[in-house]
Structure 1
Amino acid sequence: MSSAALEKRDGFNSKLGFILACIGSAVGMGNIWLFPYRMATYGGAFLLVYLIFDVLIGFSGVIGEMNFGRRAKAGPIGAFGEAAASRGEDKRKLGQIVGALPMLGALALAIGYSVVVGWIFKYTVGSFTGSVLAPADPAGFGAAFGGMATTFGNNMWLIIALVVTFAIMTLGIAGGIEKANKIMIPLFYLMFVGLAIYVGFQPGASEGYKWMFTIDPKQFANPMLYVYALGQSFFSLSLAGNGTVIYGSYLSDDTDTVSSAVLIAIFDTLAAMLAALVIIPAMATTGAVLSESGPGLMFISLPYLFKAMPGGQIVMIVFFVAVLFAGLTSLVNLYEAPIATLQDNLKFSRPKAVVSIAVIGAVVSLCIQGIVSDWMDFVSIYICPLGAGLAGIFFAWVWGRKAVEDEVSKGHGKPIGSWYYPLYKWLFCGLTMVVFFAGIAFGGIG
């Protein structure tokens, strides 16, 4: 990439803005509708194993993908191309072709996620009007969600979600994404802390805490505990060879990516724990069993639960506004990789790139509303871990040890220790393959 192109490239104005953007990318529906279910299923044993994987993946994959993007000053296509070109300029094109996979994966995941954010928009507004709480029983809540989650079932709110998302993105990295995350991410945490405190004062909440933090040694003999803990950590940290790579490409050389990765992993885990501290004790207050995850938990079980709680409408308003912030911050990250690709490789202006991807996103997401679950499963099972694994291979194995250690050491104050490279090259790349094959075997693990 020419020096002139680099000078024109947008970027983050501050380390805080970058960290909040990465936290926004990581904090999403997996933290809110999957982590609490797994905590409720396996108890404290799940939390312990999950934290171990979080440390391993955070110190390897998150740091690696950030630096892969920063070294290339480009998104997936450019980064893969630069890595391949280090072995000979004639190999650049092959690298770019391989890099198209995680870029297209980001676009496909963003399209599916757009549908989900459209649902959240509808439920957020419905929380204020009270319409979401209108059904009398779980069957009624299920019917209301089922009527929305069908082919062309939520067109207006989906379009609104996309308009808000691309309005943020039109303003660029510093002017749009960074500023939006500086507002939405702190508010997300404040709202969930408030909800956790409120739920904690409800009668019976202590039973939820007891289950969450009790470690049953027998759970450690269950292999699925390790499979799901690995999947939860991997997907929650948004490793797919796209989003973290593209955000890393906007970093200056004086940013310490090691400390940044630590903060991102900590706050991502904190978001998941806050969701669990709201949902599991809330279920315990009514004697309900947390028996489902995913959209059924968020759009059926929780609204029914909130309806029965004192001040239920206010609780629901705070909950869905916070979830909306989490959804939007993840969505802008997913769309950034294809937008940056048009800017970097086809020399589109920022507005033209945003409009082009917005049209594709709108048309496809409107059409897949009835099959979004299968769409998301395919992308998360096959594309995301494969993209993360390929990014690890191209940075660690193709670009090589010197490139990795030199880049990670920038901004760190001292050279990265000899521990990092083998951790990234062997452990992280190996874990991505485990996630890939386990996802296929079990129909998805994250």
Structure 2
Amino acid sequence: MTTAPQTEGLPTQRAEWTGQVGFILSAIGSAVGLGNIWRFPGVAYENGGGAFLIPYIVALLTAGIPILFLDYAIGHRFRGSAPLALRRLAGKLGEGIGWFQVMICVFISLYYTAVLAWAVSFFVFSFDLRWGDDAVAFFVGDYLQVSESSITFDFVPAVLIPLVAMWVIALLILGAGVVKGVQRLNVVAVPLLVVGFLILVVRALLLPGAEEGLNALFTPDFAALTQPDVWVAAYSQVFFSLSVAFGIMLTYSSYRRRKSNLTGPGLVVAFGNSSFEILAGIGVFATLGFFAHQQGIGVGDLEGLTGVGLAFMTFPAIVAEMPGGEFFGALFFGALTLAGLTSLISVMEVVLAGIMDKFGLSRAQAVYGIGGVFALISIVLFGTSSGLTALDTIDNWANNIGIVGSAVAMTITVLWIRRAGTELSGHLSALSTFKVGRTWLFLVSILGPLVLGYMLVATIIGLITTPYGGYDSTYLLIVGWGSVAVMIIASIVLTWIPWKRDPDLFTVWPPIDTGGVSRAAIEEGAR
């Protein structure tokens, strides 16, 4: 007879989304972030244009969605944060990987809030086009006051004030809880983001030169498909944009009710995220086409087609030249703010959930205690004139080394060492309308680790042989590799600290052998 799960290992009754819509919007809110707007268009343009959609879709189907399902299965079956769920699945080795994912989110949250503060500032600046005729000089000089020294502690008031404000807002949302805070934010912000960005895209398409921009983005270069780097770029983009393998989707799925369809909503989240990326590509390159048209040059001759340069240097310059630029700028930076805020909340939730599970803290203690400490660290590091350099360096190492390394370690541990593929596949299929089987197992246990392992090795070799961003090698060693070292050491230390309550006092549900369990019995046990 199927019995309801035992939950003695949890510090309190676990929070739950109010329904499927709340979960889907929250998951989309996490996946749709700054990278969708400022990274995907440039990556696509530089890797074959329209032809890039082929490896992108292949990567989505063979790595993005399968690993997203893996996160869902682990979080939902073992009902915990990344350290708790992976501990219940794979012992202390799994817990260590879970804490590594938490530490990745710690570092991301520290600098992500800074970018969010920049976006809020430029939203305000849009109303009077404060950057004037030289957007680059304004951003680097007047606003950030970037120092020639790699490390300084000269605070910049223009950054410091919005940075403090964004931390206050984030902590208040997180302190309100999973439903009243996180879910409520996403239910409002995600539809608002989509509507706002649709208006922005329509406006961009009506600009002179928009067609040239779209031609630059979508004209296919099929010869690029023969280059391994293009395929690596596709897997990298899909992997990072879906927020997989660093605790977010695992944590969010642990808040789902026992009787929950997992794979169907997963497909909605994955394709919703990809659709927004393509929408962002259209809007961004239509606007870039206008900018190139105004200057009488080709789109390929423009600088700053991706990342921070695109958002805070190129776009302000475009806005200054277009009719109704104030409205267009406010819309763009408002969208950037909403996308960044929903992603920041998801990153911080990974950290808070792990701390609450491990140490038995209340949400208020975790949010305002631990979160407050992170806010102070973030302000000291990124509220200064050397914040841009630190942000660029930590972002590169956290994403390209931390997240990819986490994915390789998790898949090998869970699927090769623990051999839990059949169990997790059975869990997904027993509860979901879209079943998974041998194909999914092959993708997550063989193809995924091989592709991601290749990406990780290639990235490490590249960072060793060529100093990233032209920065000083000693600085990169301390800040870049040092960040990864701190993640690893902290993961080991946190793993060996005793749990407040025994994490192993837990019974998985449904039972591992779900083959003979009817759907009626499963649904009865979920009640």
Distance across 2 between alignment mates of 1:429 and 1:147? 42
Could you tell me which of 293, 317, 329 is aligned with 1:304? 317
Instruction: Find the counterpart in structure 1 of residue 269 from structure 2.
Output: 264
Structure 1 position 417, deviation (Å): 2.8
- Partner residue of 1:20 out of 15, 21, 25: 25
User: Which residue in the other structure is 1:55 paired with?
Assistant: 61
Question: 1:118 Cα shift?
Answer: 1.5
1:422 maps to 442
For the structure 1 residues 54 and 413, does the alpha-carbon distance in structure 2 shift closer, same or farther, using more than 3 Å as the test? closer
Identity of aligned residues (%): 26
Match of residue 180 from structure 2? 175
Assess if the C-alpha contact under 8 Å between 2:175 and 2:367 holds in 1. Answer: yes
Q: Structure 1 CA distance, aligned partners of 2:257 and 2:25?
A: 16
Give 1:102's aligned residue. 101
Letter in 2 for 1:46: F
Q: Does 1:409 align with 2:415?
A: no
Q: CA deviation at 1:223?
A: 2.7
Q: Deviations over 1:354-375 (max 9, x none)?
A: 1123222212211222212112
Structure 2 equivalent of residue 88 of structure 1: none
1:144 and 2:149 are equivalent in the alignment: no
Q: Aligned residue pairs: how many?
A: 436
Change (3 A) 1:277 1:364: same
Residue 240 of structure 1 and its aligned partner are, at CA, apart by 2.8
TM-score by length of 1: 0.92
Task: Return 5+ residue gaps in structure 1 as ranges.
Answer: 85-91
Deviations 1:35-67 (A, max 9, x none): 111223231112221122112223310000111
Residue 333 of structure 1 corresponds to which residue in structure 2?
Answer: 346
Residue type of the alignment partner of 1:20: L
Give structure 2 stretches of 5+ with no counterpart. 293-298, 469-527
Distance 2:332 2:75 in 1: 34
Kindly provide the CA deviation profile for residues 23-45 of structure 1, in whole angstroms up to 9, marking residues without a partner as x.
11111121111111122323111
* 1:319 Cα offset (Å): 0.7
Q: Sort the Cα spacing of 1:182 and 1:137 in 2 relative to 1 into closer, same or farther, 3 A.
A: closer
Mark the CA change 1:197 to 1:390 in structure 2 (over 3 Å): closer, same or farther.
same
Q: What is the alpha-carbon distance in structure 2 between the residues aligned to residue 136 and residue 342 of structure 1?
A: 45
User: Where does residue 117 of structure 1 map in the other structure?
Assistant: 116
Which structure has the larger Rg over C-alpha atoms?
Answer: 2
Aligned residue in 1 for 2:523: none
**Code of the aligned partner of 2:444:** Y
| In structure 2, distance between residues paired with 1:268 and 1:195 | 18
2:310 matched to 1:291? no
Q: Does structure 2 retain, via aligned residues, the 8 Å contact 1:25–1:329?
A: yes
**2:450 & 2:259 partners in 1: Cα distance?**
30
Matched residues in 2 for 1:409 and 1:3: separation? 23
1:389 to 397, 408, 417: 408
Q: Secondary structure at the match of 1:368?
A: helix
Separation in structure 1 between the aligned mates of residue 414 and residue 381 of structure 2, nearest angstrom: 34
Alpha-carbon spacing, 1:402–1:220, altered in 2? closer, same or farther (3 Å): closer
The question of whether the paired residues in 2 share the 8 Å contact of 1:65 and 1:241 is answered with: no
Could you say which structure has the higher helix fraction?
1
Provide the residue aligned with 2:295 in structure 1. Answer: none
Name the SS for the 1:3 alignment partner.
coil
Letter aligned with residue 7 of structure 2 = S
Trace 1:331-370 onto structure 2 (pairs within 5 A). Answer: 331-369=344-382, 370=387
SS in 2 for 1:425: helix
Q: Which moved more, 1:366-375 or 1:432-441?
A: 432-441
Q: For the aligned residues, what is the CA RMSD?
A: 2.1
Cα deviation code 1:238-263 (max 9, x no counterpart): 12331111111111232222112211
Q: Tell me whether 58-67 or 404-413 shows the greater mean CA deviation.
A: 404-413
Distance 2:221 2:363 in 1: 53
**Contact 1:227-1:438 within 8 A present in 2 as well:** no
Instruction: Check conservation: 2:117, 2:163, Cα contact below 8 A.
Output: yes
Cα distance between partner residues in 1 of 2:247 and 2:376:
22
Conserved? CA contact 1:343–1:353, under 8 Å: yes
Query: Structure 2 CA distance, aligned partners of 1:145 and 1:434?
Result: 40
CA deviations on 1:257-290 (whole Å, 9 max, x unpaired) are 2112211111111221122111111111131544
Q: Which one-letter code corresponds to 1:437 in the other structure?
A: V
What is residue 248 of structure 2 aligned with on the other side? 243
Of the candidates 28, 31, 35, which is equivalent to residue 30 of structure 1? 35
Kindly indicate whether the alpha-carbon contact (under 8 Å) linking 1:256 and 1:410 is maintained by their aligned counterparts in 2.
no
